[in-house]
Amino acid sequence: MKEIIQKDFEIYFGSEVLEKLAEILITKGYSKIFVLVDSQTKKHCWPILSPYLVNYELVEIEAGEKNKNLENASIIWTKLQTYKADKKAVLINLGGGVVSDLGGFVAATYKRGIDFINIPTSLLGMVDASIGGKLGIDLNELKNAVGLIQNPKYIFIDPNFLKTLPEIEKRNGLAEVCKHALIDDKPLFEKLQKISLLDNLDSLLFQSLKIKVKIVKKDPFEKDTRKTLNFGHTIGHAIETYSLKNDSLPIKHGEAIAIGMICEAYISASIQGLSQEELRKISSYFSERFLKYKGKLPVKELIEYMKNDKKNEEGFINFTLLKKIGKAKINATCHEDLIIKSLEYYQNL
């Protein structure tokens, strides 16, 4: 078992982490244990966790982003109240980013905050969403519109949960795994290049999540360094928003930011000195593993979305770019023509 012990939270990684969880629950003496699952993690993950727990209440929500909302927050708060959860109760979030964002939000606000524990079960949850303390819900179709930053007490990561994760969800998480490598760890990118999506990623997971831990520790409130995690997300978010509004089967966040990373690598090569060879490596990495976006991307509309991005400052579209693989540059801006060219570059790949 590997571990990362920080001042305010602890991460345990490996196939024996659930024994460790059982041990910690006993020593902490929580007054009551609540477990939040969604309909999928109840089916696939709860049978693995339940033997390690005694005296718990299970709370279930439907799976999917549209359930990360105020109605479900209210249902969970009410459940905590009904079972008389006091300040010494704990909520365990067993699921992907939807469960940890929503459950964390509920726990951090119930009675001004009770402990919560994340057991991420999706790849994206393991390397990204369960770490860094960003919690929240969507409101009126605006993602993460209401929330706060607060760390879980513990994160237990058991890669065995990934066995039942659908391939499309693996690909979704892989984009963030690779983003961590591109902004901070060239040797990790070289290892990733050698494996395909379906290969066992377990040994690289810990390396990837350590990058997120390091970055959020330096800058928990996203004043500077944490912005490096936005690589691929300026263009990626615009594509994700467009696809959600227009496609009957919208592309996933990871797929959108994979396109975003190709485009932003192109911009990096034009204005930040990223070499043509590294641009080619990044483009082929993603185009070999991710499906090409079907249809034409409407550049003007995408640029409008980018202009409304909450990351912008003083009216400029804000980018995190790459100087080279493993080295990011935050707060970059560029001419609109270059954004258009980068989208053309992607479409002509």
Ligand X SMILES: NC(=O)c1ccc[n+]([C@@H]2O[C@H](COP(=O)([O-])OP(=O)(O)OC[C@H]3O[C@@H](n4cnc5c(N)ncnc54)[C@H](O)[C@@H]3O)[C@@H](O)[C@H]2O)c1
Considering only residues 21, 33, 63, 178, which one is a binding residue for ligand X as defined by CB under 6 A?
63
175 binds ligand X (CB under 6 A): no
Least distance from ligand X to the Cβ atom of residue 51, Å: 17
Q: From residue 275, how far is each of 122, 161, 322, 325 by CA, in Å?
A: 34, 38, 10, 9
Is the backbone of residue 333 left (phi > 0), alpha (psi -120 to 50) or beta? beta
Tell me the C-alpha distance between 52 and 55, whole Å.
11
179 binds ligand X (CB under 6 A): no
Structure tokens given for 62? 């439907």
What residues contact 200, with CB distance under 8 A and at least 6 apart?
A: none
230 binds ligand X (CB under 6 A): no
Tell me the C-alpha distance between 75 and 301, whole Å.
37
**Site stretch for ligand X (CB under 6 A), options 40-48, 197-205, 240-248, 295-303:** 40-48
Structure tokens given for 314? 């003083």
Q: Nearer Cβ to ligand X, position 252 or 329?
A: 252
165 binds ligand X (CB under 6 A): yes
In a 3-state reduction of DSSP, which class is residue 329? strand
128 binds ligand X (CB under 6 A): yes
Task: Name residue, tokens 């493993």.
Answer: 326
Tell me the C-alpha distance between 101 and 107, whole Å.
10
Tell me the C-alpha distance between 145 and 344, whole Å.
32
Least distance from ligand X to the Cβ atom of residue 269, Å: 27
Query: Quick one: which H or E segment has residue 155?
Result: strand 154-157
264 binds ligand X (CB under 6 A): no
Binding-site size, ligand X (CB under 6 A): 30
In a 3-state reduction of DSSP, which class is residue 173? helix
126 binds ligand X (CB under 6 A): no
Q: Nearer Cβ to ligand X, position 169 or 185?
A: 169
Give the nearest residue (CB) to ligand X: 97
Tell me the C-alpha distance between 200 and 163, whole Å.
10
What x-and-dash track marks residues 64-103 binding ligand X by CB under 6 A? xx--x--------------------------xxxxx-x--
Considering only residues 127, 129, 174, 257, which one is a binding residue for ligand X as defined by CB under 6 A?
129
169 binds ligand X (CB under 6 A): yes
Look up residue 65 and give its DSSP letter. G
237 binds ligand X (CB under 6 A): no
Which residues of the chain form contacts with ligand X (CB under 6 A)?
A: 38, 40-41, 44-45, 63-65, 68, 95-99, 101, 121-122, 124-125, 128-129, 132, 134, 143-144, 161, 164-165, 169, 172
